[in-house]
Amino acid sequence: MPTYDFPEDLRAAQLALHQTRAAYEEYATTLPWSAEPMPGWESEKQLHTTYRSGKPDSPGYTEEQAAEVLRFQDGLRRLGLEVSTHPYWSTLGEGVVEARMALKHAHEEPQGQAE
């Protein structure tokens, strides 16, 4: 597997993208199931199962929750754009896809220890 000498600002942006995505996903688990107020529902029992799907009433997002979701989404867009349009990619020629995949895991390796 080739080694890549990713610039530090690119590595930092990719790590920030990972961290922001993880924080957003964790925050999303605390939110109501619908951004807008919606009535709950429960499905009919299906043949050969005791499982019944359903959702309680959703109060919708508060203004603070909606603002926080927007903050996360804006950050993810900004970081994604920063990573995907970094000037480093134009220096590679061939193998850009493999390099981009390697960058996604670069934070898992001690810096300078890429295989």
114 within a domain of the structure (yes/no): no
94 within a domain of the structure (yes/no): yes
Q: What residue numbers bound the domain in which 96 lies? A: 8-108
Q: How many CB atoms lie within 10 A of CB 64?
A: 8
Q: How many CB atoms lie within 10 A of CB 84?
A: 11
Give how many domains the chain has, as a whole number.
Answer: 1
Query: pLDDT of 26-61, one tens digit each?
Result: 999 999 999 999 999 888 877 788 877 888 999 999
36 within a domain of the structure (yes/no): yes
The pTM of the full predicted model, rounded to 2 decimals, is: 0.81
67 within a domain of the structure (yes/no): yes
Work out whether strand 41-42 and strand 54-55 pair parallel, antiparallel, or are unpaired: antiparallel
31 within a domain of the structure (yes/no): yes
Q: Residue 114: its pLDDT value, please?
A: 47
Residues in the chain: 115
Average pLDDT estimate for 102-111? 81
78 within a domain of the structure (yes/no): yes
Query: pLDDT of 2-27, one tens digit each?
Result: 789 999 999 999 999 999 999 999 99
Using DSSP, state whether 57 is helix, strand or coil.
coil
Q: For residues 8 and 100, what is the distance between their CA atoms, to the nearest angstrom? A: 14
69 within a domain of the structure (yes/no): yes
115 within a domain of the structure (yes/no): no
